[in-house]
Structure 1
Amino acid sequence: MNKQKALVILSPGFPADVNDTNCLPLQQSFVKTLKQSNPQLNIIVISFQYPFKASRYIWYGAQVIALAGKGRGRLFRLFTWQRAFSELKKINDKYEVTGLLSFWMGECAYVGSRFAKKNNLQHYTWLLGQDAKAGNHYVNSIKPQPGNVIALSDFLAKEFRLNYRINPQHIIPVGIDTDLFDTNRVERDIDIMGAGSLIALKQYDVFIKVIKSLTTEFPDIKTIICGKGPEMEKLKKLIIKLGLEKNIELKGELSHKEVLRLMQRSRIFLHTSIYEGNAAVLSEALYAGAHVVSLVKPMEARLAQHHIPDNAEHLPDLLLNLLNDRTLNHDPLLVDTMESIAARVLDLFVHERFADIH
């Protein structure tokens, strides 16, 4: 009896249910699209840390095994790795495993690479952000080959090459699910929008100070920031200190769809992060018809509606020019669909092994 084929995905976290839309939206959209595009392929996700309750469940047709590591310390983490290894062995006994895909060059890639080597399986690691920075001790433990590393952007590939002398052979960027966007045109009544985790890396204090500089010419400028994080109280105090209560609204955490709706109401999406692998919000904002302004250039290709200043000091002038331009094109700009991204990742595994199920 022939075994069914399966692709195993290893991730530090995964949505607890279909309503958990804020948990790694890029990764969950990828898994959902991969399953929808390949209904006969078994997709099994092993989630190491989150959800916090150990369980097995079906999520949009994909099997999810939640180990509930809860981000605990070293002994608990080793136990989680042992459980992951045990689950991989069970899967390998039951299915014909076509390969393993790990999100981030971290613990998932470490366990996945060890299991793949032991069982002669294909394994790819998808570099997704800060894992490409210097100081990632997992890189030396894994010793990845260039052909087994996928970078989310040209920027991350370059960063990883500079820090570890390993040049990722594959660059597969962000894809978006166009079905999530409202097809009805709405008024663009928000001048500038930001969205993301409220952490120091994202530099929302810079965002706020830039808005303050713009109020000289645009005293009634309307801006919003969506997201939650440890910087929330600090940012609230800065807004009050600069007298921007009428200009900047901190929306807190919203559902993914609510954030997309706000993007479609925004003229400009401002991303002040000092380091960015290739944030999905940039591609989403472009498809929402907003002009994007960011400090980091993820891909070498230059897009007409994506503006990148030489440095943060030039942000006010760039934004002023955009705000004064009432002829801005707000048509949706599609970079990549999630369907095309899912197909590119799947093609990395031996394509002919899927031929009979496509």
Structure 2
Amino acid sequence: MTKQKTIVILSPGFPADENDTTCIPSMQIFVKGLKQNKPDLHIVVVSFQYPFKAARYNWHEVEVIALAGKGKGQLYRLMTWRRVWQTLKQLHSRYELIGLLSFWMGEAAYMGKRFAKKYNLPQYTWLLGQDAKAGNHYVKQVKPQAGELIAISDFLAREFSINYHIKPQHTIPTGIDTSLFGSMPNIREIDIIGVGSLIPLKQYNLFIQVVKSLTIQFPQIKAVICGKGPEMEVLQKQISKLKLEDHIELKGELSHPEVLALMQRSKILLHTSAYEGYSTVLSEGLYAGCHVVSLVKGMDSRPPQHHVPGNVENIPALIKELLHDPNLLHEPVLAYPVETIANRVAALFGC
């Protein structure tokens, strides 16, 4: 009997069900897009740590095997890796594996590379952000070849090359699913939106300071920040101290569709992150009709609606210019459709 051609995706986490839209939205969109564009290809996701309950289930016609490592310590992690190995052996016996794709240069890449080497399978690691920084001990353990690496952006490819003297051969950003967006509203009542985890790296303290500086010329300015994280209380105190309660609202964690709807009601997406491979949020903001302002330039080429001020001090002046422009257009800009991204990755495996 002919075995079904299968790609195995290895990831630290994956949605617990189809309603879990907040778990790594960019990877959700990619996996779903890959299945939709290659319906005859069987896809299995092996998730190491999350969901926290071990299970096998179907997610948008994708087979998911959750091993529930729960992010526990070293001994428990080794046990999880052993279960990963046994799972991969079972999949290898059951299906015709045409390759493995690991999300992040971490434990998924380590296990994927070991298994692929033993069974002579193609394996690619998608570098997605901080895994390209210096000090990632998994790089030494994985010993990746340039041809096995996919960088999410030109910036990340250079970063990895500088830190590890290996230039990823492939640069593929994550795509967006245009079907998740509703119709464009007639009014954009939100001046500035921020989207992301409330962690120090994202520098939402800077976001708040920028809004404060803009209140002088824009006394009715409205801003929202979508996301949760350990900085929530600190940021709320900063907002109160600067008397910005009428200007900035911390929305907390929202579903992915809710975030996209807010983007479509916003004029500017301000991304203050100090380091970013290439956030899918930027592409989503552009398609939502926002003008995007970010400190990090992920791709060497970008649409004119994506503004990179060069330094922190230039952000307020840039946003003032945009808000003062009576002819500011909010047309959707589609930079990276998921269909294109899915086909590019699939092509690496000969699909």
Shorter-chain TM-score category? over 0.9
Does the 8 Å CA contact 1:47/1:64 hold for their aligned counterparts?
A: yes
Matches of 1:275 and 1:315, distance apart in 2: 16
Q: Which amino acid aligns with 1:256?
A: H
- Matched with 2:165 is 165
- Matched with 1:321 is 321
- Matched with 1:245 is 245
Determine whether 1:74 maps to 2:74: yes
Q: Superposition pairs for residues 1-358 of structure 1, below 5 Å? A: 1-349=1-349, 351=350, 354=351
Matches of 2:4 and 2:228, distance apart in 1: 42
Q: Which amino acid aligns with 1:336?
A: Y
Matches of 1:293 and 1:240, distance apart in 2: 25
Q: Which amino acid aligns with 2:75?
A: L
Does the 8 Å CA contact 2:184/2:264 hold for their aligned counterparts?
A: no
Shift of 1:3: 1.2
Matches of 1:29 and 1:267, distance apart in 2: 24
Does the 8 Å CA contact 2:30/2:174 hold for their aligned counterparts?
A: no
Does the 8 Å CA contact 2:12/2:50 hold for their aligned counterparts?
A: yes
Deviating 4+ runs (over 3 angstroms): none
Q: CA deviation digits over 1:190-213, x for unaligned, max 9?
A: 000001000000000000001100
Matches of 2:86 and 2:37, distance apart in 1: 29
Matches of 1:308 and 1:16, distance apart in 2: 36
Paired residue total = 351
Shift of 1:36: 1.4
Q: CA deviation digits over 1:87-140, x for unaligned, max 9?
A: 000000111100000000000000000000000000000000000000000000
Matches of 1:15 and 1:57, distance apart in 2: 11
Q: Which amino acid aligns with 2:214?
A: L
Shift of 1:174: 2.1
- Specify the SS of the correspondent of 1:108: helix
Shift of 1:38: 1.5
Does the 8 Å CA contact 1:186/1:264 hold for their aligned counterparts?
A: no
Matches of 1:155 and 1:326, distance apart in 2: 33
Question: RMSD of the alignment, in Å?
Answer: 0.7
Unaligned runs of 5+ in 1: none
Shift of 1:146: 0.2
- Specify the SS of the correspondent of 2:274: coil
Q: Which amino acid aligns with 1:267?
A: K
Q: Which amino acid aligns with 2:26?
A: L
Matches of 2:160 and 2:170, distance apart in 1: 12
Shift of 1:310: 1.6
Matches of 2:333 and 2:288, distance apart in 1: 8
Shift of 1:302: 2.8
Matches of 1:140 and 1:197, distance apart in 2: 29
Does the 8 Å CA contact 2:226/2:254 hold for their aligned counterparts?
A: yes
Shift of 1:184: 4.0
